[in-house]
Amino acid sequence: MDIYNAAEWMLDRHVAEGRGDAVAIRCQNRSTTYSDVLADVWRVQALLFELGISAGHRVLLVLNDDPVFAAWFLGTIRSAVIPIPLSTMLMAKDLAFIAADAEPELIVISAEYSDFIDPILAAAPSLRHVVVTEAAGRMFTIEPLTWADVPTAAECSVAATTRDDAAFWLYSSGTTGMPKGVIHRHANPQATFDTYASQVLRISSDDRCLSVAKLFFAFGLGNSLTFPFGAGATALLEPRRPTPQLMLEHVRLERPTLFFASPGFVAALLDTDADDDAFASVRATVTAGEALPADLQRRFSERFGHPVLDGIGSTEALHIFLSNTLDTQRPGTSGTVVSGYSARLCDDSGAEVVEPDRPGYLNVRGPSLAAGYWRRAEASAAAFEDGWLRTGDVYTRSTDDHWTFLGRNTDMIKAGGIWVSPAEVEGVLVSHPDVLEAAVVGSRNDDGLEEVVGFVVARAGRVVDVDVLNAYCRGLMASFKRPRRLLVVNSLPKTATGKIQRFALRAQLETGQP
């Protein structure tokens, strides 16, 4: 078996090939070169050695997006230690659950989350050490080291891993159930680069990547680390919580060429008074995480003058496997299969749906799929079979091979005995000028039959008139799809990754407390 290490591919390669002085990261107006990152990676490796943290041990990273994240992520991987980036948007109890599950030896945490340290330690007796990346300023159960105290180190060697060895885990943020550790192999980052980043984005060393999605998401990890580092390009990192104004300022100052965001963020940007040339440096915007409504795709693309590429990825597949391309975008679809992946639709019995335009459960196969879930044999068997991943999404495929998202399997609505796609109805609702966001769920009426219910959030400074919106819907969709109830709310319940929690809305309707 060939020796291969993901960190060596992302980092050492550039230094070895004479690109050590290229800027790997721009963060808070400072440049970090590839050589600088490698020097910090050696510091991490020397410390891991000193603490007795070795191959296969886990390290939790609760870090903001900055050069220290890159050093710890790549430094652990370079030593065959397993980094587990965790969401900084979670609560202490959520992190504690994951820590108990992952049994880590070490946690590396930004000082602003230091209140989480003791609850995490309490939940995970396996933890032996804490590193706080800035001064912490209080006492903890385990006395923390600070990153500033970690000395510079001489060159450290690359662990002799192979492509199939576990490299890092990501905890999946499912909309139901408990988070699961998704185990990714050393080969997987490069696989997402060789497929999506190279062929769809045509990334090069001239690119400057700016992602609204943070590094702890699979989406952000690709956008802000694997893709720029794979290309010897520059990652533009922002440690703070992203707001439209902050990101606009970033775009103005740092001139990204590739911009990555969720559809919700695209909507929020459209709601600002940004100049039409605000994104002049950007050659493409990528959205993922949920379906991008056609109307938003067109408005953003037209206003800011560059292609907007919707693509679907998942934590289990590591990045995007169905996507629109720089040359062709078909609004309202996830585009076509990214070269290197295969996709198919299956019915309830597992048989392949071959006729075009018929809904089926989306399965995907490709070189970046996770090895499975940590200690979840049953869930692993349910999601991964014969090299295929069951995404849980319902899609159609057109005669010319464009794929359209209809919903996640459990969110699909049967109204009057006919399938209704919540995504489709939401697309119509959000195309109304008074509506910022919408969520559509199925709810049982007095007869016990499912009906379509829409929740809408008004755009800033606007008021949604339910009768007006209802009349608007009447003109734009088949009668059986039209929401029988429309509720105006201040906000929609969302997961840590920003996905609307339709199950929470269904529960609210059931208990009569919308």
In this structure, are residues 127 and 112 in contact, taking their beta carbons and an 8 Å threshold? no
130 Cβ contact list (under 8 Å, min separation 6): 106, 107, 108, 109, 117, 121, 140, 142, 143, 144, 145
Count Cβ atoms below 10 Å from residue 433 Cβ, excluding itself. Answer: 8
Among 66, 165, 207, 393, binds ligand 3UK (CB under 6 A): 393
Asked if residues 15 and 34 have their Cβ atoms less than 8 Å apart, the reply is: yes
319 forms part of the interface with ligand 3UK (CB under 6 A): yes
- Span near ligand 3UK by CB under 6 A; candidates 28-36, 387-395, 396-404, 452-460: 387-395
Question: Which letter does DSSP use for residue 113 in this model?
Answer: G
In the complex, the smallest distance separating the C-beta of residue 314 from ligand 3UK, rounded to whole angstroms, is: 4
314 scored as a contact of ligand 3UK (CB under 6 A): yes
* 500 interacts with ligand 3UK by CB under 6 A: no
Q: Which is nearer to ligand 3UK, 251 or 369 (CB)?
A: 369
**CA 34/CA 42 separation, integer angstroms:** 13
Give, as ranges, the residues between 340 and 369 that touch ligand 3UK (CB under 6 A).
none
Kindly give the residue spans of alpha helices, DSSP state H, lying in 255-308. 263-270, 294-304
**Can residue 324 be called a binding residue for ligand 3UK (CB under 6 A)?**
no
Q: Is residue 218 involved in binding ligand 3UK (CB under 6 A)?
A: yes
Smallest distance from ligand 3UK to CB 400, Å: 19
Q: How far is the CB of 449 from ligand 3UK (least distance, A)?
A: 26
Cα first-last separation, the chain: 57
Site for ligand 3UK contains 193 (CB under 6 A): no
When the beta carbons of 391 and 443 are compared against ligand 3UK, the nearer one is: 391
Amino acid identity, residue 215? L
Looking at 87, 211, 285, 391, which residue binds ligand 3UK (CB under 6 A)?
Answer: 391
Instruction: Please name the residue ranges forming H helices in 305-370.
Output: none
Residues linked to residue 27 through DSSP beta bridges, in sequence order: 30, 237
Give the number of C-alpha atoms closer than 13 A to the C-alpha of residue 491, restricted to the C-beta side.
Answer: 5
Report whether 393 contacts 361 (CB < 8 A): yes
Closest C-alpha among 431, 443, 428 to residue 478? 428
Distance of closest approach, residue 65 Cβ to ligand 3UK, in angstroms: 16
- How many angstroms separate the CA atoms of 405 and 141, rounded? 48
Cβ contact 75:41 at 8 Å? yes
| Separation between Cα atoms, residue 77 and residue 435, nearest integer Å | 45
Which residue has the CB atom at the shortest distance from ligand 3UK? 313
Please list, in sequence order, all residues whose beta carbon lies within 8 angstroms of the beta carbon of residue 29, skipping any fewer than 6 positions away: none
451 is a contact residue toward ligand 3UK (CB under 6 A) = no
Sole window of 38-46, 95-103, 135-143, 312-320 interacting with ligand 3UK (rule: CB under 6 A): 312-320
121 vs 167, beta carbon nearer ligand 3UK: 167
Query: What residues from 264 to 293 belong to the interface with ligand 3UK (CB under 6 A)?
Result: 288-291
Pick the binder of ligand 3UK from 78, 397, 402, 408 (CB under 6 A).
408
* Closest separation in Å from C-beta 503 to ligand 3UK: 14
Q: Provide the residue type at 325 as one letter.
A: T
Stretch that binds ligand 3UK, among 13-21, 57-65, 104-112, 388-396 (CB under 6 A): 388-396
User: Are the beta carbons of 122 and 96 closer than 8 angstroms?
Assistant: yes
C-beta atoms surrounding 507 within 10 Å: 13
**Number of chain positions touching ligand 3UK (CB under 6 A):** 23
Q: Residue 294: how many CB atoms within 10 A of its CB?
A: 17
Q: Kindly calculate the radius of gyration of the chain based on its CA atoms and give it in whole angstroms.
A: 23
497 binds ligand 3UK, rule: CB under 6 A: yes
Q: Which of residues 64, 334, 380, 443 is near ligand 3UK by CB under 6 A?
A: 334
Whose CA is closest to 239, among 150, 132, 144, 110? 110
Q: Which stretch binds ligand 3UK (CB under 6 A): 79-87, 148-156, 313-321, 474-482?
A: 313-321
- Indicate whether 313 belongs to the interface with ligand 3UK (CB under 6 A): yes
Q: Which residue from 46, 106, 320, 492 is in contact with ligand 3UK, where contact means CB under 6 A?
A: 320
| Tokens found for residue 93 | 């109890």
**Both structure tokens of 377:** 């044999």
State whether residue 332 is helix, strand or coil: coil
One character per residue 46-75, x = contact with ligand 3UK (rule: CB under 6 A): ------------------------------
Site stretch for ligand 3UK (CB under 6 A), options 26-34, 146-154, 315-323, 338-346: 315-323
Exactly one of 161, 195, 257, 315 binds ligand 3UK (CB under 6 A); that residue is 315
Cβ of residue 129: shortest distance to ligand 3UK, in angstroms?
A: 29
20, 189, 244, 311: which one contacts ligand 3UK (CB under 6 A)? 311
Q: For tokens 């989350």, what's the residue?
A: 113
Task: Write out the residues near ligand 3UK by the rule CB under 6 A.
Answer: 172-173, 218-219, 288-291, 310-315, 319-320, 334, 391-393, 405, 408, 497
